[in-house]
Amino acid sequence: MTGQHPADASSRHEPRQVPYGESRWPMAAAVVVAAVLTLLLPDDLRLGPRWALPVVEGLLLVALIAGDPGRISRRSTALRAVSIALVGVLACGAIWSTIRLTDDLMHGGSETNSADALLQAGGSVWVSTVLAFSLLYFELDSGGPAARAHHVPPTPALAFPQHLSPELNATHWRPRYLDYLYLGFTNATAFSPTDVMPLAPWAKIVMTVQSVVSLLILGLVVARAVNVLA
């Protein structure tokens, strides 16, 4: 009768860790809202024809859903590339709209000469930037949602309260898209980290860029509103 190593015996009884895949639909809903906001923007504030960005975003989103439907847990180089491309398109569209809105506000363009047009254009661009940056955090943190479903590194790029306070850390906790949406919103309104701390250099750079963009939009919209209503 052969002996059995204790470590081998215990490893056989350890439960296999199930990937912690989150639902695709919150992220998909954010992409759809961003596409709708693009359609509502004035022509001068939009990158390309009215249909261009929404069609590209829709096709990339369909490819992601078809390749990994339901919960995000499949690790694939192709799907990762599609996710990065989708986030890149959203970010480019939001930044372009921000640049065009800034130029329009500084030079008194026709798109912001009335209070209604000002609020609609400024609000749409601001919300679009929040969604774009939230998806950027969602896709870049710890290798993306599919990688987080299988493993979270000991030192993540973005430290949530559950990472910083062991007593709050639930078993197998992973940040979900709503956590990154909250991060994007609070960083855009407070212009600084609130409860989520950036640890990686890229996270600090991206959060700084988002704060500057948000401050630029809100500051110029308020200044323009004073002139319009005066």
The arithmetic mean of pLDDT across residues 19-29, rounded, is: 81
Instruction: Tell me what the mean pLDDT of segment 24-33 comes to.
Output: 92
Residue 165 tokens read as 């306070």
* Extended beta strands in the chain, E state: 22-23, 71-72, 158-159, 197-198
Sort 85 into a burial class: Cβ within 10 Å, 0-12 / 13-18 / 19+.
middle
Instruction: Report which of residues 55 and 10 the model is more confident about.
Output: 55
Confidence of residue 11 (pLDDT cuts 50, 70, 90): very low
What angle do the packed helices 77-107 and 201-229 form, to 10 degrees? 30
Residue 131 has pLDDT above 70, yes or no: yes
**Residue 145: how many other CB atoms lie within 10 Å:** 25
Report CA 194 to chain centroid distance, whole Å: 16
What's the average model confidence in pLDDT over 110-131?
Answer: 82
Phi, psi of 159 (to 5 degrees): -95, 110
Q: What is the pTM of this model?
A: 0.83
Q: How far apart are CA 145 and CA 184, in angstroms?
A: 16
Express each pLDDT in 49-91 by its tens digit.
888 899 999 999 999 998 888 788 777 788 889 999 999 999 9
pLDDT at 161 over 90: no
For residues 22 and 146, the answer to whether their CB atoms sit within 8 Å is no
